[in-house]
Amino acid sequence: MARAHDNRQGWGLVAPALIWTIAFFVVPFLMMLALSFAKMEGRSVVSGFFPDNYIRIFTEPSLLRGLVVSLEITVTVTVISMVLAYPLAWIIAFRVPERWQRLVLILTILPFWTSYVVRSYSWLLVLGQNGVINKTLMALDVISEPISMSASRFATVTGFVHFFVMLLTLTIFANLKQLSPNYARAAQDLGAGRLATFRHVILPLTLPGLMTGAFLTFVLCIGDYITPQILGGNNELTLPQLIMMQLGRRGDFPMASAMAVVLMGIVTLAYLFSARWLRIDRL
């Protein structure tokens, strides 16, 4: 008899959060989805069900190129960041003495706490024409002319990798520390070498954490506007940069919406691909 009464209280507790999420996340997304099928005539939006925007995204070279550039950069960044962060997390977890671990970890992710916008900008100080690297190399007579490193894909990838190495080191470290050392010991007792122990025991056990980190990197990277805008130059534009361009210069909201829906589609595909390893609820 108390059940119905109890449940009403339960609903009362969940309702505010649920209503907020539906009103300001689900409904806006559906409105955006509807808008993506509208089209522009002159300066005004004609609503309806036109697939024009989507056809253009996948056929117009400049737009399709944005999609490809975004995917290339994101995959590159995800792979490089994982490859750099795994050994780093490993060293902190197993080489650094226990009592220094927390300090080293905090140091490793300290620059995470600068403003995101400023962190991208700070790479200009390093990679720019007058930046530290060029000035140093010229002072050492290694080069006579500055090398151009900023305003390129190299700079974008560097800025991203810097951010995600910090993030991934943190998640992989947490993952490695949860492993009981008994697994590795057992494998070695059974005659596995160090490499075999790593490949067949440690790596599979840390895979869920790795995939969660990789998915997070993928989502944050492919949707980011700031880093490519500050570091990438104008030679190639990513999907978020193209979206912002539709909004700003052209005022083409339907097109921007369609591109956002495509972006969302890519993230969903990435999710489905990695879903069996993911534990979002444990992030």
Partner 1 sequence: MTRALSWIYLALALGFIFLPVGMLVLFSFQDGRLPVPPFNGPSLRWYADVLGDRRLMSALGNSLVVAAVSSAIALLLGFLAAQGLARYRLPGTLLMRVVLIAPFTVSYLIIALGLLTLYNRTGIGLSLWTAGVGHVVINLPLCFAILYAAIGDHHRNAERAARDLGASEVKVLALVTAPMLMPSMLAAFFLSFTFSWDEFIIAFLLTRFDVTLPVEIWSLLRSGLTPRANAVGSLVFLVSVSLLLLLELTVFRKVRR
Provide, rounded to whole angstroms, the least separation between the CB of residue 59 and partner 1.
22
57 binds partner 1 (CB under 8 A): no
Nearer to partner 1, 187 or 260 (CB): 260
Question: Which amino acid, one-letter code, is at 221?
Answer: C
φ, ψ of residue 41 in degrees (nearest 5): -125, 110
One character per residue 231-250, x = contact with partner 1 (rule: CB under 8 A): ---------x--x---x---
C-alpha 46/C-alpha 149 separation (Å) is 44
128 binds partner 1 (CB under 8 A): yes
Cα 183 to Cα 87, 91, 179, 192: the distances in Å are 19, 18, 8, 11
Name residues contacting partner 1, limited to 101-120 (CB under 8 A).
104, 106-108, 110-111, 113-119
DSSP 224-257: --HHHHHHS-SSS--HHHHHHHIIIII--HHHHH
Which listed residue (52, 131, 152, 174) binds partner 1 by CB under 8 A?
Answer: 131
273 binds partner 1 (CB under 8 A): no
CB 68 within 8 A of CB 136: no
CB 157 within 8 A of CB 118: no
Name residues contacting partner 1, limited to 193-232 (CB under 8 A).
219-220, 222-226, 230
Give Dmax (Cα) for the chain: 86
Name residues contacting partner 1, limited to 7-36 (CB under 8 A).
7, 9-14, 16-18, 20-22, 24-29, 31-32, 35
Nearer to partner 1, 187 or 231 (CB): 231
77 binds partner 1 (CB under 8 A): no
Q: Which two tokens stand for residue 19?
A: 């209503």
Question: Which amino acid, one-letter code, is at 182?
Answer: N
147 binds partner 1 (CB under 8 A): no
Name residues contacting partner 1, limited to 250-269 (CB under 8 A).
253, 256-257, 260, 263-264, 267
